[in-house]
Structure 1
Amino acid sequence: MPETFGIYIHVPFCRSRCRYCDFYSTLDETMISRWLDGVLGEMALTPAPEFLAVDTVYFGGGTPSLLGSRDVERLLGAVDLHYGMGSDAEITLEANPGTISSGQLKHLRAMGVNRLNFGFQSLDDRVLAFLGRGHSAAEAKKAWEMARKAGFSNMGLDLIYGLPGQGIGEWERELEKGLSFEPEHLSLYMLSIEAETPMGRDLAAGRMRAPDEGQVADLLRFTLNFMDDQGFPWYEVSNFAAAPMYQSRHNRGYWEKKPYMGFGPAAHSWLPPVRRSNVPDLRLYADLLREGKVPLDMEEVLDSEAMRMESFYLGFRTRKGLDVAAFEGTFGGDFFKDYRSVLDTFERKGFIEHGGGFCRLTVAGMIFLDAITSAFCCHETD
C-alpha cells in the first residue's frame, strides 16, 4: 500500500460551456454555497484510508477559479482536518482567464496553493471562438502575468490540437506562443469529439469534419519530438515538463495507480481494488448530503483481469512505461516469457522497447497506443 494518496475536488461551475466538453458542469453559480456545504459534508462522512496521508490536492472542473479564495481556504482546512496534509503537498488549482483577479491569486498563493494550471486551450482568437472558449488570447496573457506577480513559480497551461484542417505549421506556431509564456508545464491534448456535445452534433450533421487518422498521427509524432527538442520532454503522452520537479504529482499518481479520493458531483475515487463515482447531478448531490447520505452513483471491485488491463492502459501512456517487476509482483508469471509473441511483433516494428525494468512504447509506437494496449490486454498467457 502506498504511503500517500491524492484528493481531487470537482468544481462543476462554468460561465459558459465549451463546444467540445463532456465533463459534468453547470452554469448556475448560485449553487456554489450548496456545493461547498456538500463537499464539506462529504469529507466529514468519508473516513480516511488507513495508514495514508494526503500529498496532492487538485481542484479541477469546470472552472475552479470561480470559487472565492475563502472557499478554497475552507476546503483545504477540511482536507487537513479529516485526512492530514503533508507539509510538502502539491496543491493545484485549475484557472480560466477572465475568472480570476490579482487579489484572489495573491490570497490563493498565501494559503498554500502552489501550482496553477491555466486552461488556455489556444492562443489564437479564431480557434478560441471555434472551441467556444469564453476568453481571448489577450486575457490569457493578462491572467498569466497576474499569477506570476502573485508569486506563482509552478504554472502550466493547456492547449488543444488536432483541429479540423490544422497542419503541423499552424500547430507549431501555437506551441511557440505557448512556450513564449515560459511555463513550467504544458498539457497538450488531442481534440476528442464526443457525441453528446455541440461539436459532436455538428460532426454528426456534417457541419464539420474530423481530422483524418494520418493527420492526427503526424501531429502527435511532431508534438512529442518538437517538445523534446524544446527542453520539455513528455512524461505522459499529453504532458510535458521543463524538469522532473514540475511534473504533475497528482496526475502522475493516476498513471501509477496510486489511491485517490474524489469529492463533488461526478467525482471518481480509486482505493484499490474499489472504484467509486458520485452522482453526476449537483442538486441531487447536495440533497443527499444534506440528508447525511453518501452521494454514490457507482461502485465496482476490480478483479485481477480488470486490474491487469488497467496496468497496460495506464503504464503504456507514460514515457517510463510499464514497471515489469511491479506487474509480476501483482499478477505473477514471467512478463517477458508470457508476452513474448506480442512483444516480438511490436519490437520488430520499432513500436516497443524495454530496459531498466520497464517496457515502454517508442514515439512511433505511441501513434498506435490503443491498438498496442489492446493486443496486450487480449493476449492469453499460459
Structure 2
Amino acid sequence: MTSIDGPPIPPVDGPFGVYVHVPFCSVRCGYCDFNTYTADELGEGATRASYANTAITEIEMAARTLGSVGNVPGVGTVFFGGGTPTQLPSVDLVRMLDSLDSVFGLVPDAEVTTEANPDSVTPASLDELRDGGFTRISFGVQSAVPHVLATLDRTHDPERVPEAVQWARDAGFEQVSVDLIYGTPGESVDDWQASLDHALGLEPDHVSAYALIVEEGTALARRVARGEIPAPDDDAMADMYLMADDVLTSAGLGWYELSNWARDAEARCRHNLLYWHSADWWGIGPGAHSHVDGVRWWNVKHPAAYAQRLAAGESPMLDHEILDPSMSVVERVMLEARLREGLPLGILESGRGAVSSLTERGLVEITGDHLVLTREGRLLADAVVRDLTP
C-alpha cells in the first residue's frame, strides 16, 4: 500500500476499531511526550474550531480506502484520545462519531470511549456526549496528592474529581475508568496509598495504573538532568505496582493486562484489547497510527501539516510498513504476554529454549497451552519478552 487514498486494501477480517486523536491540551504536562499542543492557533486549518471538519475529511477518506462499507464488519470500538478530547465542544466529538457511524456503521453494542480531564467536563457536556453515543469515559486523575500533581504539571483540583465522576454516572455512562501514575519524584508510599484510596472511593469500573517514564525531550527529563528532582526509583516503583495490585484486587478489580484492572470482564477496555490482540484499527488525526491486514501506517505529526494535506485532497499518511511473519510473531509476543490469559505456546517456536529457564526462575508458568506471567514476571515483563524473542 503506497497511499491510504489509493486502491482499496483487502477487507477487514475480524474486529475493527477506530482511534481518533485530538491533539489539544490546556497545559502541556511536564512528563508528557504525546503529540499534543496548547496553542489555539497552529496554522491554517489547525484550530480547535476547524478540527472536527478536518478529522471528518480523513474519516471519509478512510471509507474510500477500505473500498466500501461492506469491507468492514462494523466498528466495534472507538477511542477518542489525545491530548484532551474534551477540550473540543461535545457537539464536535459527537459529529465525528456520527461520521464514523455514517460511513462504516457502529455495531449495536459498540464501545465508545473518550479520555477527559476532570476540569474539562460539565454536567451538560457529559449529557451531550452520552446522548450522542459515547458509552465510556476515562478520567486522567494521575494522583490525589497536590504536590505530586504539581510535579507532574497537572492542573486539576483533586477535590473536583468525585464531582466529575458523579456527573458521568448521572449522564448514564456505562463505564467510568480512572488513570493513575505512580513513581513521581517525591511521591511517598503514603502518597500512593492515598491516591489508590481516592480512586477506589470513586467506585470506578476500571483503573489504569502506569509507572512514570521520564521521556527524552520532556520538561520532566530536563528537570531530572539538571538535578532539580531525582529520577524515579525502579525498586520503589516495583513496590508501588505490587501495592496497587494488592489494593485493587482486594477491592474487586482484577488485573487483565499489566497496567489495567477491571471490575469484571464487561468493564475491560475492548478497544485496548483490540490493540493487544493485533486486530485492525484506523487511526484518525495527526500522528495517529493504523493497522489493517498486516499493513501499518502513520500520519504526519503536526496538526497544521495534517490539515493542509487533507484540505488539498491529499493523504495525511507520512509512511508505512508491511509486517512480515517474523515481525508479526515478535509483536504478538510483546503484546499478548502482557495479558492475563497469556501467550499461546504455539507461536513461541524461536523462544522455546527460554521457557524452561523462565519457569525455573518463577517468572512464567504454563497454564494449559498458554505461557502466563507470574506476579514476579509482571514486574520483569520487558526482560521476559526479550528472552522469548531472541
TM-score, with length taken from structure 2: 0.91
| TM-superposed deviation, 1:84 | 1.4
Distance in 1 between residues matched to 2:233 and 2:94, nearest whole Å: 46
User: Is 1:314 the counterpart of 2:330 in the alignment?
Assistant: no
User: Is 1:29 the counterpart of 2:40 in the alignment?
Assistant: yes
User: Is 1:367 the counterpart of 2:362 in the alignment?
Assistant: no
Letter in 2 for 1:305: S
| TM-superposed deviation, 1:189 | 0.7
User: Is 1:275 the counterpart of 2:296 in the alignment?
Assistant: yes
Q: Which residue of 1 aligns with 2:66?
A: 48
Distance in 1 between residues matched to 2:32 and 2:293, nearest whole Å: 29
Q: Which residue of 2 aligns with 1:12?
A: 23
Q: Cα deviation per residue 1:170-192 (whole Å; 9 max; x = unaligned)?
A: 32221011100100011111101
What is the aligned counterpart of 1:202 among 223, 236, 253?
Answer: 223
- Asked if the contact 1:224/1:363 (under 8 Å) is kept, the reply is no
- Asked if the contact 1:60/1:94 (under 8 Å) is kept, the reply is yes
In the TM superposition, what are the counterparts of 1:175-190 in structure 2 within 5 Å? 175-190=196-211
Distance in 1 between residues matched to 2:117 and 2:188, nearest whole Å: 26
Distance in 2 between residues matched to 1:268 and 1:358, nearest whole Å: 29
Distance in 2 between residues matched to 1:243 and 1:170, nearest whole Å: 27
Distance 1:272 1:324, change over 3 A: farther
Q: Cα deviation per residue 1:147-186 (whole Å; 9 max; x = unaligned)?
A: 1222223101111001224343332221011100100011
Distance in 2 between residues matched to 1:143 and 1:222, nearest whole Å: 26
Amino-acid identity (%): 36
Distance 1:223 1:55, change over 3 A: same
| Structure 2: runs of 5+ lacking an equivalent | 1-11, 42-46
| TM-superposed deviation, 1:51 | 4.2
Q: Cα deviation per residue 1:304-340 (whole Å; 9 max; x = unaligned)?
A: 2211111111011111111335x3xxxxxxx4x7544
Residue correspondences, number: 369
| TM-superposed deviation, 1:33 | 2.8
- Aligned to 2:119, the other structure's residue is in SS state coil
Q: Which residue of 2 aligns with 1:331?
A: none
Distance in 1 between residues matched to 2:298 and 2:291, nearest whole Å: 9
What is the aligned counterpart of 1:216 among 213, 218, 237?
Answer: 237
Distance in 2 between residues matched to 1:37 and 1:51, nearest whole Å: 23
| TM-superposed deviation, 1:273 | 1.1
In the TM superposition, what are the counterparts of 1:95-106 in structure 2 within 5 Å? 95-106=116-127
Distance 1:231 1:180, change over 3 A: same
- Aligned to 2:389, the other structure's residue is in SS state helix
Q: Which residue of 2 aligns with 1:112?
A: 133
Distance in 2 between residues matched to 1:216 and 1:99, nearest whole Å: 29
Q: Cα deviation per residue 1:76-125 (whole Å; 9 max; x = unaligned)?
A: 11101211111110000111122111111111111111101101111122
Distance in 2 between residues matched to 1:362 and 1:120, nearest whole Å: 28
Distance in 2 between residues matched to 1:340 and 1:323, nearest whole Å: 12
- Asked if the contact 1:48/1:83 (under 8 Å) is kept, the reply is no
Letter in 2 for 1:122: S
- Asked if the contact 1:275/1:300 (under 8 Å) is kept, the reply is yes
In the TM superposition, what are the counterparts of 1:162-177 in structure 2 within 5 Å? 162-177=183-198
Query: Root-mean-square deviation (CA), in Å?
Result: 1.6
Q: Which residue of 1 aligns with 2:82?
A: 61
Letter in 2 for 1:24: N
Distance in 1 between residues matched to 2:54 and 2:216, nearest whole Å: 30
User: Is 1:355 the counterpart of 2:373 in the alignment?
Assistant: no
| Structure 1: runs of 5+ lacking an equivalent | 328-334
